[in-house]
């Protein structure tokens, strides 16, 4: 993007500006990278209290079976993802992956069963391609709608439930990955108990015209601060969560990425509905026999972050992998990263060296997440 005039704006753009956000181009949108508090304070505030994120750049898609039978929509979606959609209960959400014929990841996404349709949230940079992919593959059996009439926000942190309960008392009965419709500040919303920070929290879809009013009501609470993309990235990195385009992409498989937990037994070899999704032969083989490399957590010595793109080597300087994401973890109190290494180097505690500005700095394979996740199970 050459100029801000070419960038799209979310329904909360004016609010972000009024809150003093520093705006940057991201996935074709003008988005807030930080507010007045700054990235470090925003990160720490989310971990300690509650942070409000504008994530309206994400794609929101409804998938409705043309037959009127939601099970048909589930079966259609299962031709695109290696997860159990048919067994997903009404009012529940599941993490999923669009895969290609080589087993690579086209995008990661959330699928929610809304009873008479499925509600799908995809990444901003992929949403046009994802929608075209869905339209081409299942458009004959499903009616698909990519919504530009809704905003999406995330309220994250240990005080998120208490804050949201002031607008909707029933929120306290929701558990992790529950999805419900509700009225928030006179707006018809879809609320999921999920997020991208490792903290308990909620993602809330709101009619675009009412989004600013709902956000202002939430921001009126003394525990809530607006949080930008900078802290969103450091929070998800500490939580060991992948960023599409960095840690996962079309060259990585779910097994290499350590995401096999997202593939339920029913879709695996020996299950009731094995395979049937793009790249099944590759992915099912790797589930049985392993992959030659794997995503791992990494902790560097000292205080200097090791960024994505740095090579990883043994003490003999034989390259065994690459860093895909890295930064300083405020709550981890040090630099944290993730990357891919060969099978011989995946054990936690393995000593490696990261190439940084012509030098090889000590870095150790570490278990993820780097801070304890606090999802409400």
Q: Hey, what domains does the chain have and what are their CATH numbers?
A: 4-56+149-238 (3.30.1360.120), 292-371 (2.40.30.110)
Give the pLDDT score at 315: 83
Return the C-alpha torsion angle 377, 152, 330, 97, nearest 10: 60
Give the pLDDT score at 29: 98
Q: Are 12 and 54 in contact (CB under 8 A)?
A: yes
> In the predicted model, is pLDDT for residue 244 greater than 70?
yes
Structure tokens at 107: 């995008």
pLDDT interval class at 2 (50, 70, 90) = very low
Per the annotation, does 203 bind a ligand?
yes
Give the pLDDT score at 3: 46
Q: Give the tens place of pLDDT for each residue, 126-147.
A: 999 999 999 999 999 999 999 9
Give the pLDDT score at 5: 58
Give the pLDDT score at 325: 98
> In the predicted model, is pLDDT for residue 13 greater than 70?
yes
Q: How far apart are CA 334 and CA 317, in angstroms?
A: 24
Which is nearest to 353 in space by CA: 343, 365, 344? 365
Would you call 346 exposed, middle or buried from its count of C-beta atoms within 10 A (0-12, 13-18, 19+)?
middle
Which is nearest to 156 in space by CA: 74, 76, 72, 231? 231
Residues of the chain with pLDDT > 70: what percent? 99
> In the predicted model, is pLDDT for residue 173 greater than 90?
yes
> In the predicted model, is pLDDT for residue 289 greater than 70?
yes
> What mean pLDDT is reported for the chain?
96
Q: State CA 43 to chain mean position distance.
A: 17
Q: How far apart are CA 266 and CA 356, in angstroms?
A: 44
Cα dihedral 351, 355, 360, 363 sign: negative
pLDDT interval class at 316 (50, 70, 90) = confident
**Tokens 């990357």 belong to which residue?**
339
**Vertex 77 angle, CA 73 and 78, to 5°:** 115
Which is nearest to 203 in space by CA: 184, 214, 190, 187? 190
Q: How far apart are CA 48 and CA 227, in angstroms?
A: 13
Lowest-confidence pick of 89-98, 136-145, 295-304: 295-304
> In the predicted model, is pLDDT for residue 123 greater than 70?
yes
The two beta strands, 93-99 and 105-113, are: antiparallel
> In the predicted model, is pLDDT for residue 268 greater than 90?
yes
Q: How far apart are CA 98 and CA 315, in angstroms?
A: 37
Q: How far apart are CA 296 and CA 294, in angstroms?
A: 6
Full strand arrangement of the beta sheet holding 50-54: 179-184, 187-192, 201-207, 150-156, 50-54, 224-227
Average pLDDT over residues 93-119: 98
Q: Give the tens place of pLDDT for each residue, 198-242.
A: 999 999 999 999 999 999 999 999 999 999 999 999 999 999 999
Instruction: With both helix axes pointing from N to C terminus, report the angle between 229-238 and 39-48 in degrees, rounded to the nearest 10.
Output: 50
Q: Give the tens place of pLDDT for each residue, 328-362.
A: 999 999 999 999 999 999 999 999 999 988 888 99
């Amino acid at each position: 993007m050459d100029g801000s005039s070419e960038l799209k704006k979310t329904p909360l753009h004016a609010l972000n500006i009024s809150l003093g956000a520093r705006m940057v181009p991201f996935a074709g949108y003008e988005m807030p990278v930080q507010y007045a508090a700054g990235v470090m304070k925003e990160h720490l505030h989310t971990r300690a209290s509650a942070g409000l994120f504008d994530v309206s750049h994400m794609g929101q898609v409804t998938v409705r079976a043309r037959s009127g039978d939601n099970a048909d929509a589930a079966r259609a979606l299962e031709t695109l993802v290696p997860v159990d959609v048919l067994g997903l209960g009404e009012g529940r959400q599941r993490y999923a992956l669009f895969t290609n014929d080589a087993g690579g990841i086209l995008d990661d996404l959330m699928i929610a069963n809304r009873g008479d349709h499925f509600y799908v949230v995809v990444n901003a940079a992929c949403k046009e391609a994802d929608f075209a992919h869905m339209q081409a593959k299942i458009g004959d059996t499903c009616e698909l709608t990519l919504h530009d009439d809704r905003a999406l926000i995330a309220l994250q942190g240990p005080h998120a439930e208490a804050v949201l309960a002031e607008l909707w008392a029933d929120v306290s009965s929701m558990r992790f990955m529950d999805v419900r419709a509700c009225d928030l500040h006179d707006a018809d919303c879809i609320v999921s108990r999920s997020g991208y920070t490792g903290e308990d929290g909620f993602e809330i879809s709101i009619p675009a015209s009412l989004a600013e009013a709902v956000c202002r009501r939430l921001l009126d609470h003394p525990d809530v601060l607006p949080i930008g993309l900078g802290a969103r990235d450091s929070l998800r990195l500490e939580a060991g969560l992948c960023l599409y385009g960095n840690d996962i992409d079309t060259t990585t498989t779910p097994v290499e990425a350590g995401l096999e937990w997202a593939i339920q037994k029913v879709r695996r070899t020996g299950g009731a509905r094995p395979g049937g999704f793009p790249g099944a032969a590759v992915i099912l083989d790797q589930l049985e026999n392993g992959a030659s490399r794997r995503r791992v957590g990494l902790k560097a010595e000292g205080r200097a972050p090791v960024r994505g793109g740095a090579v990883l080597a043994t003490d003999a300087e034989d390259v065994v992998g690459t860093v895909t994401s890295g930064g300083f973890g405020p709550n981890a109190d040090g630099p944290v990263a993730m990357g891919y290494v060969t099978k011989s180097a995946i054990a936690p505690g393995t000593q490696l060296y990261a190439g940084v500005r012509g030098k090889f700095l000590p870095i150790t394979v570490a278990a993820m997440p780097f801070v304890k996740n606090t999802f409400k199970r």
